């Protein structure tokens, strides 16, 4: 069953829409655009995106926030039912957000393991068929981040989550996000990728996670956001090199997050990595799981007139097509 879900996720030139922003995050984004972050407006905005006519031409699955999964309706249908009617697989963010690690200002671990088993079983009953858990790693030479202790904690929790999710019938998306914030070089980024991926795949093996029913959600190997944009050829080379070094051939698939990159960077890097992967004989399916890279332009347009559904969907469709084209 879970392998069927993975096959559907990577079918055609489609990817995942990450629409799992917490209420706090989406309220912040709407408020920044002078839109009231009311429950009504949040629902109205998400219904506008999900109701896009050609959405299933480009999107095979959507990661939802729990309130969207549990409460929201579109055209009289609960969101999971509505999405499945469009042949789109509903997914769910299952982690409980970030908490300071060892009283650090720069290091965070992810909450939610204690109640995860019960939550996953409940989300499956509500219609979700895949899940996502995000851990973050901030790079700071000054603060020696990420520390070995944080890497050990976050990768162990990611592996535990993956096992619990699989036992509940959900395909886990493990997301060890290595943040761009800062002025670290691409070499420093790659060094952190090496440490995180080495630990992560050791933990997954120790906990007997089924790699064929597992998806890695990862960032590209890039320099910190305060440095000039990286050359695409360097990004594709460094990223695929990490993949080949650590990711087992039987892995279900890989999806990229945009992680603060511009839409153009997200699409360009994605296409380049796929091109390099094929050239290097790395045959694991690769796609996208973007949030802001797909939503930013649509949200900006919608904020100017929240009743302008049709044109907002046209703006959204253009960026969906660009992401889909990048897979070809």
Residue 134 is classified by DSSP as E
Catalytic residue among 78, 217, 238, 322: 217
DSSP string covering 183-207: ---HHHHHHHHHHHHHHHHHHHHHT
Residue 60 makes CB contacts below 8 A (sequence gap 6+) with 8, 9, 10, 11, 12, 14, 15, 16, 88, 89
Cβ neighbours around 127 below 10 Å, total: 18
The reply to whether 175 belongs to the active site is yes
Euclidean distance between CA atoms 169 and 191, whole angstroms: 34
- For residue 179, what are the CA distances in angstroms to 109, 136, 139? 14, 7, 7
Instruction: Say which residue the tokens 């050609």 belong to.
Output: 54
Question: For the chain, first and last CA: distance in Å?
Answer: 27
Catalytic residue among 107, 175, 238, 276: 175
Active-site residue numbers? Answer: 175, 217
């Amino acid at each position: 069953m879970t392998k069927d879900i993975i096959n559907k996720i990577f079918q055609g030139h489609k990817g995942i829409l990450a629409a799992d922003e917490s209420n706090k995050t989406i309220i912040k984004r709407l408020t920044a655009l002078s839109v009231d972050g009311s429950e009504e407006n949040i629902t109205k905005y998400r219904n506008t995106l999900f109701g896009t006519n050609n959405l299933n031409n480009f999107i095979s699955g959507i990661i939802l926030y729990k309130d969207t999964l549990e409460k929201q309706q579109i055209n009289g249908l609960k969101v999971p039912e509505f999405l499945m009617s469009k042949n789109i697989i509903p997914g769910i963010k299952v982690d409980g957000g970030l908490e300071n690690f060892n009283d650090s200002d720069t290091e965070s671990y992810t909450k939610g393991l204690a109640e995860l088993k019960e939550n996953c079983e409940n989300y499956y009953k509500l219609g979700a068929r895949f899940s996502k858990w995000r851990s973050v790693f901030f790079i700071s030479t000054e603060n020696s981040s990420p520390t070995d202790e944080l890497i050990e904690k976050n990768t162990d929790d990611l592996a535990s989550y993956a096992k619990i999710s699989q036992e509940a019938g959900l395909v886990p998306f493990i997301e060890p996000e290595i943040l761009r914030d800062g002025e670290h070089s691409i070499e420093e980024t790659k060094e952190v990728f090496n440490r995180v991926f080495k630990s992560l795949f050791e933990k997954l093996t120790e906990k007997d996670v089924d790699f064929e029913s597992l998806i890695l959600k990862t960032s590209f190997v890039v320099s910190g956001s305060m440095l000039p944009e990286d050359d695409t050829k360097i990004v594709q080379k460094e990223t695929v090199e990490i993949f080949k070094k650590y990711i087992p051939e039987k892995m279900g698939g890989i999806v990229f997050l945009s992680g603060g990159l511009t839409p153009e960077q997200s699409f360009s890097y994605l296409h380049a990595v796929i091109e390099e992967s094929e050239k290097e004989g790395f045959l694991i399916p690769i796609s996208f799981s973007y949030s802001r890279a797909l939503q930013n332009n649509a949200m900006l347009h919608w904020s100017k007139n929240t009743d302008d559904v049709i044109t907002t969907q046209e703006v959204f469709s253009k960026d969906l097509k660009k992401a889909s084209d990048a897979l070809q």
